[in-house]
Structure formats: structure tokens, C-alpha cells
Amino acid sequence: MVANFRKKQKSGTPDSFFSSPFIKVGFLIIIIFLIFADIKVYKEKNKLDRQIDNLEKKIQTMQDKNNMLEEGIARSDDREYIEKIAREELDLQMKDETVVSFIMPKQQEDENKEADKNYWNPKNWLGWFSSIISGIIQ
């Protein structure tokens, strides 16, 4: 007697692990979740990169300021340096000298232009209301 070791094949399509619609939907959900997680990580990385750039700029300005202060300390015995600091920062003067100051009104005009651009500025609203009232009265 001879044994038949051949497997009997089922009629129709063979069942596969990936042929189930639930498995397909599950893989689709996992892929979508991974895409959103990747986008979130990318945004967080960009945010942290900007913070690093800002902190590096702050470090550079602090180092520049530190170098300037160290230079000032090193030159603290120099008479010319002391005189320069006294004139520039303390507004002191030598005997028989007159100090001339210039007033620059352009900055105030620029500030007024900035205030005019701000629509929520109460001065703008009051000006608008006063022009309406004066137009009604006349």
C-alpha cells in the first residue's frame, strides 16, 4: 500500500494573512499614525533648532560684551580711556569746554507714524470720532 503524501488543495483562492480586509485596514491605520508622528517630530525639531540658533546668538552677544568689559578692565589705568568714558557715558567735560547737544525730532515722528498704523490705538479712535463730531456740528 502506497501512502499519498500530497496535500489536498482547497478549492478557490488560497487564504493569506494579508488578504483579510481587517489586516489591510490595520496596516493603513498604523501607516497614517506613523506619518502624523513623523510630522510632529519634524515640527518639534525645527522649533528646537530655532531655539538653539537664538541661544547661540545670545551666547555670541554675551561673549562680545564680556570681551568689551575685559578690555575696559584692562584699560582702566589708561588716562585717555578714563577721559573717553567720562565724556561719553557720564557727560563730563574739561575746564573751558562747552558741550553741544543735538535734539533729533525724527525719532518722535517715526513713533507717531507707528502709532498711526496701529488701529487699536485709542488716539486714532478719538481723532476719528472728533472729526465726525466736528463734521456734524458744522
Enter the pTM of the model: 0.42
Same domain (yes/no): 120, 81: no
- Is residue 55 a part of any domain in this protein? yes
pLDDT at residue 68 is higher than 60: yes
Within-domain flag for 85: yes
pLDDT category at 62 given cuts 50, 70, 90 is very high
Q: Structural domain tally of the chain?
A: 2
Residue 124 lies in a domain: yes
Q: Are 67 and 59 in contact (CB under 8 A)?
A: no
Burial class (CB in 10 A: 0-12, 13-18, 19+), 27: exposed
129 in the same domain as 82: no
Q: Indicate whether 128 and 90 sit together in one domain.
A: no
Domain that holds residue 60: 20-98
Asked if pLDDT for residue 135 goes beyond 80, the answer is no
Residues 135 and 117 in one domain: yes
pLDDT at residue 115 greater than cutoff 70: no
Which residues make Cβ contacts (< 8 Å) with residue 76, sequence separation at least 6?
82
pLDDT value of residue 35? 95
Confidence band, pLDDT 50/70/90 cuts, at residue 17: low
